[in-house]
Amino acid sequence: MANDPNPPILISGAGPTGLYLALILTTLKIPVMIVDKALTSGTTSRAIVVHARTIEYYSRIPGLAEELISQGMKVGCLNFRREGAIRGSVPIGEIGTGVSRYPFILTIPQDVHEHILEEKLASLGVKVRRGVTLVSAEEVSDKVNVKLQDVDGKEEIVKVSYVAGCDGAHSAVRKAAGLKMEGGTYAGRFFVADVDADGDKAWHAVNICTAGSEFCIYVPLRRAGGARLIGTVPKHLEDREADISFEDVRPSVSRNTKLEVTRVEWFATYKVHHRLADKFRLGRFFLLGDAGHLHSPAGGQGMNTGLGDSANLAWKLAEAVRNPSNPAANDLLDTYEPERQSFAKTLVSTTDQAFTTITNPGLPGWLLRSVIMPIIAPFAFRNIPGVPLMAFMRVSQTAITYRSLSPLAENKSKIATASSVQAGDRLPWVKVDDTTDNYHKLESQWWQLHVYGDLKKDVKNGLGAKNNTPIWTFPWKGTNAESQGLRKDAIYLVRPDGHIGMVCEASEVEMLSGYLERWGIV
């Protein structure tokens, strides 16, 4: 194993969460080492749904969002099928229009997704060290001594400032830090398969299929004839000691979907868990993605949540590495856990309820599968104003807020509580014209000030000559700033992850200056 220099940050796990964390840190000029025990990147589709908030994060790395979209497929509608026949349909398309630059749901197999991320990281000069396992890690003073082992059994010790555990449900980092992950396991077994099939695959549609108490989802893949299947293993097979093959579940798949599977590329059965780590940070150890939270596949939230963890933590780690003597740096790192663990806890709870109900063989499950989804949901989407946008914001994770979760969200201004957009919220997307929006400025991935309207002359003077935080002004008239809940001429301090640190008026610039000083933002 090559003797790599000791970087400030070691990332264990090269799935999407670890790769994206490495990408952001690399673009912020922070050296990283990323290792993964697998010899190659993934070869199966696994997590397949990518939501708008994730693509917004990706757009800050030149070309990344565009590449992902070009390789994926936009979901056109959500079909509810009973024994193969469509009983109801919800149009999806671009239901998030006006909320995000990416108002759709994208499907892309995880192996393709990972390849895009890994290639982008390699283009920046960082390669994943594959076949390398984290054996142990011990925090000693201001460093972490990490023992790594390659596939030949050769060991090395690297000394790093921080360790990020992006290494999944059986996280070696979580074990090394001595952190617990508690929760439960859903009843029953489930299967997942990538197949080629003939039949009505409803191209560009996610299909939720039921037959009796059986349940199956299928999503067409980009390749001709390809489909991803996720479903419940029939009850008579659950306790079977021998391995279950696709042939065992084929009758159920055929009954639910009316697809004729001609080739099976990948098939596996598994148990679904819902668990949450007791801490997301312990000293110089951090947990991200499945290493910190596991939940049901309902809504396709798992991978996207891990990527949100990376977007939240990366710039905080970068600041701690750049200014280790800054007393605010550790406080900044402390905000990662309350902001991300709170959302993960809510997500585990809500997806648990949804998944338990939809797979329930009793009356509650029957009502959801046979009445609410195929009849009530389509009616609400087509006839109740605001329902499509509300559903989009919830599923796409654009509605995530860190209000009251950490001191980074400061709402002391006179206008803060009077505004629908407050500190901790995601910065609303504002379209200026056909080629420009306010999100283009977020590509810097650092703190900045936004004003929608006019910038008062005394603001720059009030901040002081030493402060170099960029100030961007955007037109008020002719844009959707007002409908997005922004206030004319107000000052929005935007964090590197696109969430708002504080909102104030020009007359409160002293308060803003105090915030910048408190967090060492210059």
Same domain, 448 and 517: yes
pLDDT at 173 over 60: yes
**Which residue range is the domain that position 440 belongs to?**
401-522
Q: Final residue of a domain: which of 351, 385, 412?
A: 351
Q: Does one domain contain both 336 and 459?
A: no
Write out pLDDT tens, residues 9-46.
999 999 999 999 999 999 999 999 999 999 988 766 67
Q: Is residue 42 part of a domain?
A: yes
> Which of 218, 243, 214, 247 is CA-nearest to residue 230?
218
Q: Quick check: is 208 in a domain?
A: no
Residue 3 has pLDDT above 60, yes or no: no
CB hemisphere CA count around 299 (13 angstroms): 23
pLDDT at 2 over 70: no
Span 87-98, pLDDT tens digits = 999 999 999 999
416 close to 462: Cβ distance less than 8 angstroms: no
How many structural domains comprise the chain? 2
In a domain, 507, yes or no: yes
Residue 116 and residue 28 in one domain: yes
Residue 422 has a CB neighbour count (10 Å cut-off) of: 21
What mean pLDDT comes out for the span 124-150?
A: 96
Rounded to an integer, what distance in angstroms lies between the CA atom of residue 491 and that of residue 10?
Answer: 37
Question: Residue 188: is its pLDDT beyond 90?
Answer: no
* pLDDT tens digits, one per residue of 333-361: 999 999 999 988 887 777 766 777 777 77
- CATH number, position 518: 3.40.30.120
CATH code at position 159: 3.50.50.60
Give per-residue pLDDT as tens, 423-469: 999 999 999 988 899 999 999 999 999 999 998 877 877 787 678 89
What was the pLDDT predicted at 199?
Answer: 83
In this predicted structure, what is the pLDDT of residue 432? 92
Within a domain: residue 235?
no
* pLDDT reading at 298 higher than 70: no
Task: Give me the amino acid identity at 150.
Answer: D
How far apart (Å, rounded) are the C-alpha atoms in residues 397 and 274? Answer: 19
Closest CA to 144 of 192, 183, 176: 176
Look at residue 294 and tell me whether its pLDDT is greater than 60: yes
pLDDT at 40: 86
User: What's the start-to-end Cα distance of the chain, in Å?
Assistant: 41
Confirm if 46 and 289 have CB atoms less than 8 A apart.
no
> Does residue 422 fall inside a structural domain?
yes
> Which whole number is the average pLDDT over 196-218?
84
Could you tell me what percent of the chain has a pLDDT over 90? 62
Per-residue pLDDT, averaged over 116-130, amounts to: 97
Identify the residue with better confidence: 496 or 419.
Answer: 496
Candidates 169, 167, 174, 168; CA nearest to 12 is: 167
